[in-house]
Structure 1
């Protein structure tokens, strides 16, 4: 099996800085949660991975159905397929664990939109979640797993419990994992359009594909907005079926929202450029030790961001030093993508170009994500 869709998750417990990001965990009780997903690649069968990795209580799955999406919350009833777990239609996922469904034998292809409906009969408590959903989800009371269209729904702008989809692809199929922060996750791109820069880059590839393990607010060195990159590397990269390449953008949140560091030891205060360089070097070394191709990315511009306290002279100096190192001869990656140059204002490279600015001076819009994807040499991904 090879992963074709994936979501990196955050803890259901808010960190001291979570109010900055305005992302809110939530739970469900006697509700059907319907979420859509667009496959990056195809195969002859598939299985779904559910997660209670950050939950505080065992998670009762009262039923799960998979179907082809029509539009909105609608599904094609002919394709509606109940999932089973070790042959059973229901399951309980223990705290801290994940669960794979039994394989469903049906052909799927790249770009196909599927819908997963979960019936959650008990009180889940705050759930394991992704801050940026790949599309708007829908919630309704009771068990409506097979409803062709959900009426009077509550919209869901975060992703919950769905960790991944694997497909039965040819044995030599290889994929890339995009790892990092909101620039990777596509935080400011259009919901449901699949326009993060990794998704747009994936559509340029002629063999294999890219899956997205970005977490908005995530850091290289600090456990906030999910585990820091070095801590989540094994689960979110090394354990992904079929991975051969990793593309990284990380460090902006360490610079803009400094806190106690988790690597290599816990000093306090803003990380220095040398701290970030040490972290990125350790990341590349671990990827190489696992036999993977490591592709670095320069840190994007953010001067003039609307968020108070993020843009500082010290932070700008740190970003410049890290980017100079990434573009120099001593960096440890197999290749480096100049993400910053792809979206920088030529007249003031510390800012995002106006036509690529999502509006907050810190993130790029769909056009900016396309500019990054177009700037990547696709031959780097010999998948």
Structure 2
């Protein structure tokens, strides 16, 4: 491959992953055997070459991949004729990812642009055990029996399954012009996109990217949201302070980090489904956690942009919204908006979607229906609430 000395590897897609071995029942837990997975990724930015990141980070068995292919996706599980190409690791089309490790494919010399939809197909000949996966990718994937790596479409193959979770794929990098800058949306379900319409790319980071492109920006935002994730303690995935290095600081090209946490720290402890959850934090504890987060970002030379904790008073999830928790959220939001916050800037996401008559709840026009997450219109309101001058990407 010919390399451009003025270009560098830059994150163009991210999908935060969690373990199927956690003690949770929110998401389907599964593995695969003698099956082909075809999963769709949409690039946030482009470049002259591409590489895919695959993960067996939480697997209990070595992940044997009998073959992997990359193609341009047409619609559904279909791929564009002539676009299919092998993905290799260290030159091999068949490879194994050890337990607890990740792999990066060899570069594919192909010009890609923001918005390109790519199909990544994995042939899994052996039992994978429970997978390393993304719980809420909001992008339909496909699984069929046997080796169907180069099938033009998987529709019509007996045993076809449609997947609402994404498995083994954690990201894609592109060879972009040197100096291309990246913002990481590092947060919970408000960033991952729960509540927005699947397969439409109407999540907050997607819509913020639309605004950036319209403004002529050469940089973009990648999404490291993780539904049900917490700032201070593990519950769904490692807590924010634990995963910060991997999911933000180590992202190639990162210059800015947008942050949204706190809802699950306050809400999960009140739910019967989580009797083992650590107690809800005080405002002082959350503020200390946010301060540590900002300090670590600044120590890495990054711009730290906070967002206010979203309103959730009328959520349908029993036990999630308590008067004590809502009072803490108000106090934390006042601190984020105040002069003592260590962040370089903030976006007032709470105010952007709150009911003016009752700011502790989501406005009906922006409510996904569960009182905790926003719909497509709400995601647009969140994206519109970010001052692009803060990003400078």
TM-score with structure 1 length normalisation? 0.96
Equivalent residue for 2:185? 178
Aligned to 2:280: 270
* Partner Cα distance (1:112, 1:215) in 2: 23
Structure 1 residue 109 and structure 2 residue 113: aligned? yes
Q: Does the 8 Å contact 2:308/2:336 carry over to 1?
A: yes
Residues 140-184 of structure 1: per-residue CA shift (max 9 Å, x gap): 000000000102420000011001100000011010000010001
Aligned to 2:313: 303
1:342 counterpart (352, 355, 358): 352
Deviation at 1:276, TM superposition (A): 0.5
Offset of 1:238 from its aligned partner? 1.0
Which residue in 1 is equivalent to 2:369? 359
Q: What secondary structure, in the 3-state scheme, does the structure 2 residue paired with 1:129 have? A: strand
Residue 256 of structure 2 is matched in structure 1 by 245
The answer to whether the Cα contact below 8 Å between 2:35 and 2:124 also exists between their aligned partners in 1 is: yes
How far did residue 268 of structure 1 move? 5.0
Which of 133, 158, 167 is 1:160 aligned to? 167
Q: Are 2:80 and 1:73 equivalent residues in the alignment?
A: no
Aligned ranges for residues 127-206 of structure 1 at < 5 Å?
A: 127-150=131-154, 151-152=156-157, 153-205=160-212, 206=217
Cα distance per residue 1:268-311 (max 9 Å; x no partner): 52211111000000000000000000000000001111001001
Aligned partners of 2:137 and 2:192 also within 8 Å:
no
Runs of 4 or more, structure 1, over 4 Å off, are none
Unaligned runs of 5+ in 1: 260-266
Taking the aligned partners of 1:187 and 1:314, their CA distance within structure 2 comes to 25
Note the aligned Cα RMSD (angstroms). 1.3
Question: Offset of 1:344 from its aligned partner?
Answer: 0.4
| 1:91-110 mapped onto 2 (5 Å cutoff) | 91-110=95-114
2:240 corresponds, among 215, 226, 229, to: 229
Q: TM-score, normalised by structure 2?
A: 0.93
2:21 equivalent among 13, 36, 47: 13
Runs (5+) with no aligned partner, structure 2:
1-8, 271-276
| Deviations, residues 108-166 of structure 1 (Å, cap 9, x unaligned) | 00111111000011000110011112410000000000000102420000011001100
Q: In structure 2, the residue corresponding to 1:349 is in which secondary structure?
A: strand
Contact conserved, 1:37 with 1:134, CA < 8 A, in 2?
A: no
